Amino acid sequence: MMKVHILSGGESAEREVSLRSGKAVAKALEQAGYEVANLDPALANIDKIANCDIVFPVLHGAGGEDGTIQKQLEKRNIKFAGSGSKASALCFDKWEYRQVITAAGLPMAKAATIKHHEHATHELAQSVHVLKPIAGGSSIDVHIVRDLGKIPHEAIAKTFERYETMLIEELIDGTELTVGILGDKALPIIKIVPPEAGEFDYENKYNGASQEIVAPEDVSPKIQKAARELALKAHQLTGCRDFSRTDIMCDKSGKLFLLETNTIPGMTDQSLYPKMALATGLSMPKLCKTLVEFALKR
């Protein structure tokens, strides 16, 4: 029986989500007929990996999605699912990602990197904006400023204590879409509808309060097609492989703006990527089996 070693957990702020992803992937691969072993790099060195046919990393955040674990696996000539170390590092760094995407002429909102003392006077802070870590995910430590009269200065100051430099972005008012890539094909889009008077933040990503609508009827086929094409271009430009998920904003005029590309999208039972795959007829076991097969062919 073919053996797959799953890496989940880790030490990032996204540890709990990663553990849930790992549990879901393990269950799916067992159902698909694989022998499965789990390893949490926070508790054991990856040198413990032995006698397996493939490694399946579902480590979200720093240490897992930033190319660190991928580089170690590459040095050991161990086959693994997902993007390699270079693409992982590039997509994890939102500023470097932006340089590649905008150099290719793909649309993104205006942005800059700033330190705390620059925030109040920065030109992008004079209108609605978003503050986010340059490297990170799951909307952790993200501040969405929709009302300049209610800027959470104290909370922002505390966030800057954790990050010397942050990314400030023009806030695009519109609809958030997300598109998964599997192999070289775009999956159906998902429209994200946060709870009323809420944001699609860390809490609302996992508490079931947000609506996640696959191939939404109120988004025109033209925009859905354009979003899928844009996500595939981002996937290819950044050198991703196997799977990714790209977040996109659609403004009220129908113009699309890339936000970011996730090289290890969430794989929990509430995650967006498996829902997209399911819409094409791929159950979780079939999806995970497909990703293992991609890696085995390399």
Asked whether 142 and 203 are in contact (CB, 8 A), the reply is no
Q: Does any domain span residue 42? A: yes
Is the same domain home to 235 and 102?
Answer: yes
Is the same domain home to 100 and 233?
Answer: yes
Is the same domain home to 98 and 197?
Answer: yes
Please indicate whether residue 11 is annotated as part of the active site.
Answer: no
CATH code for the domain of 146:
3.30.1490.20
pLDDT at 215: 92
Name the catalytic one among 9, 10, 12, 14: 14
Please indicate whether residue 163 is annotated as part of the active site.
Answer: no
Please indicate whether residue 245 is annotated as part of the active site.
Answer: yes
Is the same domain home to 140 and 249?
Answer: no
Please indicate whether residue 138 is annotated as part of the active site.
Answer: yes
Is the same domain home to 41 and 99?
Answer: no
pLDDT at 211: 83
- How many other C-beta atoms lie within 10 A of the C-beta of residue 161? 8
Is the same domain home to 55 and 156?
Answer: no
Q: Does any domain span residue 40? A: yes
- How many other C-beta atoms lie within 10 A of the C-beta of residue 171? 16
CATH code for the domain of 245:
3.30.470.20
pLDDT at 138: 57
Number of folded domains that form the chain:
3
Please indicate whether residue 118 is annotated as part of the active site.
Answer: no
Please indicate whether residue 9 is annotated as part of the active site.
Answer: no
Q: Does any domain span residue 25? A: yes
Query: Could you tell me how many residues make up the chain?
Result: 298
Name the catalytic one among 138, 210, 244, 271: 138
Please indicate whether residue 206 is annotated as part of the active site.
Answer: yes
Residue where one domain finishes, among candidates 124, 141, 170: 170
pLDDT at 204: 47
Radius of gyration of the chain (CA): 19
Please indicate whether residue 127 is annotated as part of the active site.
Answer: no
CATH code for the domain of 67:
3.40.50.20
Both tokens of residue 249? 């904003």
Range of the domain at 129: 111-170
Q: Does any domain span residue 86? A: no
Name the catalytic one among 12, 244, 262, 271: 262
Predicted TM-score (pTM) of the model is: 0.91
Partner residues linked to 112 by β-bridges: 168
Which residues in the chain come in under a pLDDT of 70? 137-138, 195-209
Is the same domain home to 63 and 143?
Answer: no
Is the same domain home to 159 and 244?
Answer: no
Name the catalytic one among 245, 254, 271, 293: 245
Place of tokens 């599997």: 182
pLDDT at 179: 98
Is the same domain home to 211 and 164?
Answer: no
